[in-house]
Amino acid sequence: MAMHIHASWSEGAASMHGHLDQATRAGIDVLWWTEHDFRMAEHGYPNLVHMDGPAEQVNGVAWSWAEKREGTLASSRVLWDKAMASPGDASTPGSVRLSATSAGRDAAAARIAASAANTVSQRSLYDQTIEVDVFPAEVSPHACLAVVVTTSWRPATAGRPAGKYTLTYLVDGTQGKSRSRSGLNAVVHLPARQGRWNTLRMSPAEDIARFWPDLENRDAAMLSLTLGAVSEKERPVDGWFDLLRISRPARSADDSLRVQAAVMAGYAARFPAVRQYQGLEVSLIKPTHVNWYGPKITMPTFAKPRPVADPDPAAALAVIQMIHSTGGLASYNHPFGTGRPAELTPAGQDALRAAVAKTVLADRAMGCDILEVGYPSRGGVDLDRHSQLWDVCSRNALFLTGTGVSDDHSGQNWLGQESNFVTWAHAPSRDLDDLLAALAAGQVYFGDPARFSGVVDLLVDGAAPMGSVTTSTAATRTVRAILTGLPADGFVRVVQGTVDLAGVAKPEPGTTFTDIPASSWAKGFVDLPIDTRAPRFVRVEVRDRTGRAIALSNPVWLLRDTPNGGIPAARCVR
State residue 375's pLDDT score.
98
Are 364 and 476 contained in the same domain? yes
CA dihedral 366, 1, 31, 375 (to 10 degrees): 60
Indicate whether 271 belongs to any domain: yes
Selection from 225, 204, 234, 236 nearest residue 136 by Cα:
236
CATH value at residue 112: 2.60.120.260
Position 574 confidence tier, pLDDT thresholds 50, 70, 90: confident
Are 365 and 456 contained in the same domain? yes
Are 379 and 274 contained in the same domain? yes
Task: Give the model confidence (pLDDT) of 136-185 as tens digits.
Answer: 999 999 999 999 999 999 999 999 999 999 999 999 998 888 999 999 99
Contacts of 62 (CB under 8 A, 6+ apart): 55, 116, 117
Number of Cβ atoms within 10 Å of the Cβ of 570: 20
Selection from 175, 106, 100 nearest residue 138 by Cα:
100
Are 36 and 60 contained in the same domain? no
Task: Give the model confidence (pLDDT) of 12-55 as tens digits.
Answer: 999 999 999 999 999 999 999 999 999 999 999 999 999 999 99
Residue pair 125/204 in contact (Cβ under 8 Å)? The answer is: yes
Which of 247, 282, 300 corresponds to the end of one domain? 247
Indicate whether 573 belongs to any domain: no
Indicate whether 100 belongs to any domain: yes
Selection from 560, 550, 532, 324 nearest residue 540 by Cα:
550
100: pLDDT strictly greater than 90: yes
Supply the DSSP symbol for 555. Answer: P
Number of Cβ atoms within 10 Å of the Cβ of 487: 18
Residue 502 C-alpha from the chain's centroid: 34
What backbone phi and psi angles, to 5 degrees, belong to 484? Answer: -130, 165
Are 505 and 371 contained in the same domain? yes
Positive or negative, the CA dihedral 28, 29, 30, 35 is positive
Are 462 and 564 contained in the same domain? yes
Q: What DSSP assignment string belongs to 340-400?
A: --PPPPHHHHHHHHHHHHHHHHHTGGGG-SEEEEE-SEETTEEHHHHHHHHHHHHHTT---
Q: What DSSP assignment string belongs to 216-279?
A: -TTS-EEEEEEEEEEE-TT--EEEEEEEEEEE-----TTHHHHHHHHHHHHHHHHSTT-EEEEE
Q: Is 325 helix (H, G, I), strand (E, B) or coil?
A: helix
Residue 185: strand pairing partners: 166, 182
Position 384 confidence tier, pLDDT thresholds 50, 70, 90: very high
Are 403 and 452 contained in the same domain? yes
Q: Is 134 helix (H, G, I), strand (E, B) or coil?
A: strand
Domain count, the chain: 2
What backbone phi and psi angles, to 5 degrees, belong to 318? Answer: -65, -35
Indicate whether 123 belongs to any domain: yes
Selection from 8, 227, 250 nearest residue 123 by Cα:
8
Position 253 confidence tier, pLDDT thresholds 50, 70, 90: confident
State residue 112's pLDDT score.
98
Indicate whether 505 belongs to any domain: yes
Amino acid, single-letter form, for residue 2: A
Residue pair 573/458 in contact (Cβ under 8 Å)? The answer is: no
Are 288 and 152 contained in the same domain? no
Q: What DSSP assignment string belongs to 64-116?
A: EEEEEEES-EEEEEEEEETT---GGGTTS--EEEEEEEESSSS-EEEEEEEEE
Which of 217, 247, 277 corresponds to the end of one domain? 247
Indicate whether 220 belongs to any domain: yes
192: pLDDT strictly greater than 90: yes
Helix intervals (H) in 163-235: 204-211
Selection from 529, 538, 367, 362 nearest residue 461 by Cα:
529
- Helix axes 255-270 and 16-26, enclosed angle (nearest 10): 40
Are 423 and 521 contained in the same domain? yes
State residue 175's pLDDT score.
85
Positive or negative, the CA dihedral 560, 563, 568, 574 is positive
Which of 247, 275, 294 corresponds to the end of one domain? 247
What is the bridge-based pairing of β-strands 370-374 and 61-70?
A: unpaired
Indicate whether 165 belongs to any domain: yes
pTM: 0.97
Are 103 and 240 contained in the same domain? yes
d(CA 119, CA 61): 10
State residue 176's pLDDT score.
85
CATH value at residue 429: 3.20.20.140
Position 314 confidence tier, pLDDT thresholds 50, 70, 90: very high
Distance, first Cα to last Cα, the chain: 27
Are 129 and 273 contained in the same domain? no
471: pLDDT strictly greater than 90: yes
Could you list the residue range(s) of the whole structural domain that residue 166 is in?
Answer: 44-247
- For the chain, percent helix, then strand, then coil, each to nearest 5? 20, 40, 40
d(CA 395, CA 500): 6
Indicate whether 574 belongs to any domain: no
For residue 168, the number of C-alpha atoms closer than 13 Å in the C-beta half-sphere is 18
303: pLDDT strictly greater than 90: no
Q: Is 25 helix (H, G, I), strand (E, B) or coil?
A: helix
- How distant, in Å, are the alpha carbons of 483, 492, 560 from that of 487? 11, 10, 35
What backbone phi and psi angles, to 5 degrees, belong to 294? Answer: 170, -175
State residue 177's pLDDT score.
87
Q: Is 182 helix (H, G, I), strand (E, B) or coil?
A: strand
What backbone phi and psi angles, to 5 degrees, belong to 450? Answer: -80, -20
Residue pair 469/567 in contact (Cβ under 8 Å)? The answer is: yes
Are 362 and 502 contained in the same domain? yes
